[in-house]
Amino acid sequence: DADKVKGTDWASKVTVTGDLRYRYEAISDDTLNAAPPAGVTTADRYRDRIRARLAVTAKATDNLTLGLGLTSAENGDPRSGNQSLTGVFNKKPIEIDLAYFDWKFSSWGNLIGGKMKLPFVKGAQNLFWDNDITPEGVAFTFSRGIWFGSAYNFWLQEVGGNEPAVTSDPMIHGAQIGVRMPMGGSTLTLAAHYY
C-alpha cells in the first residue's frame, strides 16, 4: 500500500499538457512578377501546416516547479511552431520550447529562470509580444493584493570573440508594475511596462 501512495503522490505533482493543430492556408497574391514574363501575377499559394506542442510541469517541492516543453518549429522561428507539410515526406524538427524553474520564495513573489513563458502581464492583442515567444533568462514576479509586477533580464544572443576582443551580449532588461481593480463583476487591469 505504501508504494501505491507514493505512486499516486508523484502522479499528482506532474501535469502534462499539449495540443495539435492542422491548418490549411490559401494565399492569393496579385503582385506582378518583376522577372520574365513581366506583367504576369504571381501564382496563388496553397499550403497545409501543422503545429504540435507538449509540456510537462512537475512540482518538485512545495515552492519549486520545473517545466519542460517541446514544440514543432520551422527554421527555429521563435514566434511560431507551425510546420509546412513539404519536403517529400521529410521528418519535421522538434525544438525545446520551455526549460525553466519557478521558485515561489514567498507568498507574494517568484523567481523564474531558464526558457520560460512571458513573465509579465500583456493584453490579448499586443503589437510587441507574441504568446508563442518563450524568452530565455531570469525574472522576478510579484503579486500582492491588487498590485502585480515583474523585473527581468533576457539573453538574446551569446557573442563570442577572440581573447583580446571586447564583446557584448545583447540582452533585454525590463520591468512592469500594475494594478487589478475590481469593477462590479469585472476587473480593470492597468500596467506600465518599460524595457
What one-letter code names the amino acid at 122? K
In whole angstroms, give the CA distance from residue 153 to residue 172. Answer: 6
Query: What's this model's pTM, rounded to 2 decimal places?
Result: 0.81
Please give the torsion angle defined by the CA atoms of residues 6, 12, 13 and 17, in that order, rounded to the nearest 10 degrees. Answer: 140
C-beta separation of 69 from 57 below 8 A: no
Query: What pLDDT does residue 77 have?
Result: 84
Residue 103 in contact with residue 140, Cβ under 8 Å?
no
Burial of 67 (0-12, 13-18, 19+ CB in 10 A): buried
pLDDT of residue 180: 96
Category of 75 on φ-ψ map: left (φ > 0), alpha (ψ -120 to 50) or beta: left
Is the pLDDT at 54 greater than 90? The verdict is yes
- The pLDDT value given to residue 130: 86
The proportion of the chain whose per-residue pLDDT surpasses 70, expressed as a percent, equals 86
Average pLDDT for the chain: 88
Looking at the chain, the whole-number percentage of residues with pLDDT higher than 90 is 61
* Better pLDDT: 129 or 41: 129
